Chain A
Amino acid sequence: MVFGKLLSALKKTRDVLTAGLSRLFSFGRKLDETFLEELEEVLYNSDLGPVGTRIVEDLKESYRKREVKEVAEVPAFLRRRLLHRLAGSEAPLVSAPQGPTVVLIVGVNGSGKTTSIAKLAAHLKKQGKSVLLGAGDTFRAAAVEQLTRWAERLGIPIVKQPTGADPAAVAFDAVAAAVARKVDYLLLDTAGRLHTQKNLMAELEKVVRVVKKQLPDAPHETLLVLDATTGQNAIRQASEFAQSAPVTGLILAKMDGTAKGGAFFGIREVLPVPVKFLGVGEGVEDLEPFAVEGYVDAILTFDKSTAPRA
């Protein structure tokens, strides 16, 4: 059910964008200033931000060059442009050539890190992999308990220390345990932190260093979890987190709402790493691999022939 839930969520919601686009491409419209402004608005509403303005500029340019002549050609033009911008942003989760694959999960407060870990763990377990969790958020109240609850539900072991412990120490223990127990994957949670907090970003750097002490190639994946409802700030999050941790991919969480996570288009320009998964709900099943075409179509569900079926 790739994209099933995402698309049903899109359908279920009287989605602004869809509504906007169908109005936009209604019969008899002219490719004029009004049309362009409406198109810009529709793209903005998906959080494309200045990228949306640039796409509209591109469209104007193509119109001048007679590459696009009428409104009917615009959907295909948009689809091409959006796909082009996302080229290379699909990739599977990597695995270490040998020994445990260490996956470090990072992100701002409340973006969906811990829940994404539970989902990833469920996903890997289903594939027959052995998984270990590391409760690296020792700061937030009951964050350890939260991950512990997931571990219990999934029947997966967890390495933890009490709230207030040094997160780097937890990371160290977790890597040691992963090596000793020869698990396939170690999923390491971290506390949410704003990228503007220098001391907390330094703390994150320390966690990375400590992980490398035992496994120089680790973390094999550092996934930045972004909340799809976030606007242009997501771009700053991406570039700043990448300064403190070797971010290899993204998880776009909360894609089951009406937000599209369109800031991702702008993120491509500062941090061209793939999106590894989409979070589409609060349950462990609610994780979907990212597919560029499906995502772009979800953004541009304007036409019956291209509308994906849920």
Chain B
Amino acid sequence: MFDSLAGALGKAYRAIVGQKVLTESNIEDGIRAVRQALLEADVNFQVAKEFVADVKRRALGLDVIKAVEPGQQFIKCFHDALTDLLLGGQAQGLPVAPQAPLVLMMCGLQGSGKTTTCAKLALWLRKNKKKNPLLVAADLQRPAAVDQLQALGKQLNIAVYAEPTTARPPEVCRRGLEHARTRQHDVVILDTAGRLHIDEPLMKELQQIHDLCKPHGVLLVCDSMLGQDAVNSAKEFHARLPLHGLVLTKVDGDARGGAALSIVKVTGRPILFAGVGEKPDDLEEFDPPRMAGRILGMGDVVGLVEKAQSVIDEKEAEAAARKLQKGQFNFEDFLGQLNMIRKLGPLKKVLGMIPGIGSAMKDIDFDDQHFQRIEAVILSMTPHERQKPDLIDLPRRRRIAAGSGNPLDVVNGLIKQFKMMQDLMKKMGRGGMPGGLGGLMGGGGKSGGGFPGMPGGGFPGGGFPGGGGRGFPGFPGGRRR
């Protein structure tokens, strides 16, 4: 989820990187890219508009910090705006009951995941808070909804209070509560029927349950795949029963989750949990700053920059960058760069930390093995060959292939691409990493194996975020599935 926002942010970042200061006009492209990404991610039109205005205000209000690139600063503005939005005003967990039992009430549209969430939450409370929960089956509408909750209760060994479907839901809830008190349950979770926010009788029924049971917290269960209508339904649920928080479900899918942002915005309530699968333990506590980080390309840019600074030999990197620009970059340098990248951690993880790349890589099977294969090829060259790639003729290639345990094709491909990259670099001068460099290590992806989604200029500014022109060449491409 949230991947495309990350991708679009990468776009925005590339549009802004290289600027000395952030001005109204030079952030325009980035801002537009962000807005478009939000809309395509199902963020409500008005919410997107306000959010973009917020990012812009923050970006323009910034002091120019010399050491930090404007592009990075822009990301930070976006990150902060997103975190604030996701926090929904204030961070908070489940409510506390002055006196047991704690009563929680689930509500939401049909099929959003309420019943499953009831079971997940009960399990979570038992595991993490040592609670003894009771589930109350108050969905008497959907055929076999009671059986569903009972089956889950049985499976998890969690108590379920149920009555025949001829009963009235508010009464069932009230009696469920009494039942909990006599049985010493310290948490009660009410599972209600799914309903449309415009269904007057059913919305009234929810209010009756609320009046009768006075839950300490009402949780709105929302499907992360929701579209624009999410704001209409969430607003109405919130108006009828003040919500305590939200549970976002089906986060294990590939929905961009923009509706969730809209719901937080219009209700001012935070997301407390995320459902990440159909099984009862597929529930995660929701952490807004971390999620904001993930939206930014699953990336912790700052952390990555710090890490990079600690493992990258600045002088060596600069030398490599200079050589690259002159087209003198050789296999020796390349090997050095490879090793630097590898010090950062598993490749996929490292690249995933960079905004815009995480999402571009989503479909790529990255293998560090491919990395190793290339290393093996280079290590099978003599130092002389590494420094003068032009020397490597067919007999030498055969020897290298045999020595590294690779077919000749692999060696040929590597050398050919390396040369192409050198030429390109010469032409580009100080520019950035062309997609072709990615192709150097790619396993035959669509566009020459280069980074999908990396436009001509490639990696912004010839550098790694914050690198100020330090080369960070050698991003591998990969195979698309």
Interface residues of A (CB under 8 A from B): 9, 12-13, 16, 40-41, 44-47, 49-50, 53, 108-112, 139-143, 145-146, 148-150, 153, 163, 194-197, 227, 229-234, 236, 254, 256-260, 262-263, 282
Contact = CB atoms under 8 A, between A and B. Distances in A.
Contact of A257 (B148, B197, B252): B197
B130 interface: no
Contact of B253 (A108, A254, A260): A108
Which of A45, A112, A231, A236 counts the most B-chain CB atoms under 10 A from its CB? A231
Interface residues of B, number: 46
Contacts of A40: 45
Given A12-B198, A140-B278, A146-B142, A44 B39 contact: yes
B113 A47 contact: no
B230 A229 contact: yes
A229 B41 CA distance: 14
Contacts of A111: 111
Contacts of A145: 143-144, 147-148
Contacts of B144: 142-143, 145-146, 148-149
B152 A141 contact: yes
Contacts of B256: 232-233
Given A140-B278, A141-B151, A282-B142, A256 B196 contact: yes
Nearest to A139: B278
Nearest to B110: A254
Nearest to A236: B254
A291 to B, nearest CB: 22
Given A146-B143, A257-B198, A257-B233, A231 B228 contact: yes
B229 A259 contact: yes
B109 A229 contact: yes
Contacts of A254: 109-111, 196
Contacts of B111: 109-112, 227, 254
Contacts of B115: 141
B259 interface: yes
Interface in B5-64: 39-42, 44-46
Contacts of A282: 110, 141-142
Given A231-B42, A231-B258, A109 B228 contact: no
B147 A258 contact: no
A116 to B, nearest CB: 11
B53 to A, nearest CB: 14
A111 B226 CA distance: 11
B250 A258 contact: no
Contacts of B39: 44, 49-50, 53
Contacts of B151: 141-142, 163
Q: Is the interface of A mostly helix, strand, loop or mixed?
A: loop
List the 6 closest A-B pairs by CB distance, nearest first.
Answer: A231-B227, A110-B111, A231-B42, A149-B143, A259-B229, A142-B148
A148 B144 CA distance: 9
B238 to A, nearest CB: 15
Which of B152, B229, B230, B256 counts the most A-chain CB atoms under 10 A from its CB? B229
Contacts of A153: 143
Given A49-B40, A282-B110, A9 B227 contact: no
A257 B196 CA distance: 6
B277 to A, nearest CB: 9
Interface string B216-236: 000000010111111011000
Contacts of A53: 39
A102 B3 CA distance: 38
B202 to A, nearest CB: 10
Contacts of B250: 108-109, 194
B337 interface: no
Contact of B228 (A46, A140, A196): A46
Contact of B223 (A12, A16, A112, A229): A229
Interface string B420-444: 0000000000000000000000000
Contacts of A47: 42, 227-229
B196 to A, nearest CB: 5
Nearest to B275: A109
A17 to B, nearest CB: 10
Given A41-B46, A149-B143, 4 more contacts: A195-B253, A230-B227, A256-B196, A259-B229
20 contacts: A41-B46, A46-B228, A110-B113, A110-B223, A140-B148, A143-B148, A146-B143, A148-B144, A227-B223, A229-B109, A229-B226, A229-B230, A231-B225, A231-B258, A233-B225, A254-B109, A257-B229, A258-B229, A260-B229, A262-B227
